[in-house]
Amino acid sequence: MLTQQKQTVAVGLSIERIDGIPKVTGRALYTRDIKLPHMLYAKIKRSNHPFARIINVNCSKAQELNGVKTFVVGKDFAPMSNEDTPPLARDRVQYLGQAVVAVAADNLQIAERAAELVEIEYEPLPALLEPMLSMSAGSPILSPGLNNFRNVGNYLHIIKGNVNDGFSKADLIIENEFSTVAESQFQMEPLSFLARPDTDGGVTLWATSSGTSKVKYEVSSYLRLDPRKVRVLITFLGGWFGSKEENHLSAVCAALALKSKRPVKLELTRAETMTASGVRHPSIISIKDGISRGGVIIARAIRATYDGGAYGSLGNLMVKNAVMTASNVYSIPNFEVEVYRVYTTRVPGSAKRAPLGFQMAFAIESQMDSVARRLNLDPVDFRLRHVLRNGELNSMGEETIGMSYEVALSKVAKEIGWKASEPPLEYPWKKGKGIALAAKWGYSAPNQASVRVNADGSIDVFAPIIENGQGTYTGILQLVAEEFRIPVEMVNIASLIEGSSSEWGIGTGARASQQMANLGPAVIAACKEAKRSIAHVAASALGVDETDIAVEDGKIYSLSKPSRQMKIKDVFIQGSILLGSPIYVPPHGHGEFRGSSTYLKKIGHFDPKNGQLEDGRASPYYITVAQAIELAVNIETGNVKVMKVAAAMDVGKAINPELVRGQIEGSVMMGLNAALSEELIFSEGSIVNANLADYKLLTSLDTPEILPFILETPYEQGPWGARGAGEASILPTAAAVRNAVYDATGKWINSLPITPEKIVES
Partner 1 sequence: MRIRTVVNNETLDLEISLSNSLLELLRDILGLTGTKKGCDFGGCGMCTVLVEDKPVFSCITPAWRAEGKRITTIEGVGIRDNHHLHPIQAEMLKNFAFQCGYCTPSMVLVAKSLLQENPSPTEQEVKEALSGVICRCTGYSRYVKAVLAAAETMKKGLELDI
- Using CB under 8 A as the binding rule, whether residue 23 contacts partner 1 is answered as yes
Among the listed ranges 55-63, 183-191, 406-414, 538-546, the one in contact with partner 1 (CB under 8 A) is: 183-191
Strand, helix or coil at 270? helix
Separation in Å, CA 104 to CA 45, 77, 195, 253, 326: 11, 17, 12, 9, 47
Stretch of 11-19, 287-295, 341-349, 745-753 contacting partner 1, by CB under 8 A? 11-19
- Output the DSSP codes for 497-529: HH-EEGGGS----SSTT-IIIIIHHHHHHHHHH
Integer Rg of the chain from CA: 27
- Closer Cβ to partner 1, 219 or 237, answer by number: 237
Q: Is 105 helix (H, G, I), strand (E, B) or coil?
A: strand
Residue from 14, 176, 179, 565 touching partner 1 (CB under 8 A): that is 14
Of these, 668, 735, 740, 752, which contacts partner 1 (CB under 8 A)?
A: 668
Residue 712 binds partner 1 (CB under 8 A): no
Residue 599 within binding range of partner 1, rule CB under 8 A: no
One of 141, 541, 585, 697 touching partner 1 (CB under 8 A) = 697
Strands 565-567 and 555-558: antiparallel
Q: Which positions ≥6 away from 709 have C-beta within 8 Å? A: 411, 412, 415, 646, 647, 648, 649, 664
User: If binding is defined by CB under 8 A, does position 30 make contact with partner 1?
Assistant: yes
Q: Does residue 691 belong to the site contacting partner 1 (CB under 8 A)?
A: yes
Stretch that binds partner 1, among 149-157, 253-261, 462-470, 624-632 (CB under 8 A): 462-470
Q: Which is nearer to partner 1, 227 or 704 (CB)?
A: 704
Distance CA 593, CA 571 (A): 9
Q: What are phi and psi of 85, to 5 degrees?
A: -65, 130
In terms of CB distance, is 559 or 692 closer to partner 1?
Answer: 692
Is 66 a binder of partner 1 (CB under 8 A)?
no
Q: Find the DSSP H helices in 150-211.
A: 163-169
Q: Specify the residue, 17 or 511, whose C-beta has the smaller distance to partner 1.
A: 17
Of residues 465-494, which lie at the interface with partner 1 (CB under 8 A)?
468-471
Among 11, 32, 678, 710, binds partner 1 (CB under 8 A): 32
Q: Is residue 416 near partner 1 by the rule CB under 8 A?
A: no
Fill in the DSSP letter of residue 736.
Answer: H
| Smallest separation, CB 271 to partner 1 (Å) | 9
List the one residue from 95, 178, 186, 311 that touches partner 1 (CB under 8 A). 186
Cβ distance to partner 1 smaller for residue 577 or 693: 693
Least Cβ distance, residue 475 to partner 1 (angstroms): 13
Determine the Cα–Cα distance for residues 628 and 623; give it in Å rounded to an integer: 17
How far apart (Å, rounded) are the C-alpha atoms in residues 585 and 587?
6
Q: What is the DSSP letter of 53?
A: E
The span from the CA of 341 to the CA of 354, in Å, is 16
246-275 mask for partner 1 (x: CB under 8 A)?
A: -----------------------xx-----
Number of Cα atoms under 13 Å in the Cβ half of residue 428: 9
Q: Stretches 383-391, 498-506, 632-640, 656-664: which one binds partner 1 (CB under 8 A)?
A: 656-664
Distance separating alpha carbons of residues 739 and 370, to the nearest angstrom: 8
Number of residues interacting with partner 1: please give it, by CB under 8 A.
55
Least distance in Å: CB of 72 to partner 1?
25
Q: In what order do the strands lie in the sheet with 447-453?
A: 491-493, 459-462, 447-453, 594-599
Helix (H) or strand (E) holding 429: strand 429-441
Angle at which helices 357-374 and 733-745 cross, to 10°: 30
Closest CA to 664 of 488, 521, 465, 513: 513
Q: Shortest gap between Cβ of 670 and partner 1 (angstroms)?
A: 7
What CA–CA distance (Å, rounded) separates 418 from 413? 5
Residue 689 DSSP class? -
26 binds partner 1 per the rule CB under 8 A: yes
Exposed e or buried b for every residue in 598-626, given b needs 16+ CB within 10 A?
ebebebbebeeeebbbeeebbbbbbbbbb
- The minimum distance between CB 347 and partner 1, in angstroms, equals 19
Query: Would you give the binding string for partner 1 spanning residues 350-389, x where CB under 8 A is met?
Result: ----------------------------------------
Contacting range for partner 1; rule: CB under 8 A; set: 143-151, 316-324, 405-413, 463-471: 463-471
**How many other β-carbons are positioned within 10 Å of the β-carbon of residue 632?**
18
CB 528 within 8 A of CB 483: yes
The only residue of 25, 376, 540, 563 in contact with partner 1, by rule CB under 8 A: 25
Q: 212-251 mask for partner 1 (x: CB under 8 A)?
A: ------------------------xxxxxx----------
Among 7, 147, 576, 700, which residue sits at the site for partner 1 (rule: CB under 8 A)? 700
State yes or no: residue 430 binds partner 1 (CB under 8 A): no
Q: Which region, judged by CB under 8 A, interacts with partner 1, from 17-25, 293-301, 319-327, 448-456? A: 17-25
Which residues of this chain interact with partner 1, rule CB under 8 A? 14, 16-17, 19-30, 32-33, 35, 186-190, 236-241, 269-270, 468-471, 658-659, 661-662, 665-666, 668-670, 691-693, 697, 699-701, 703-706
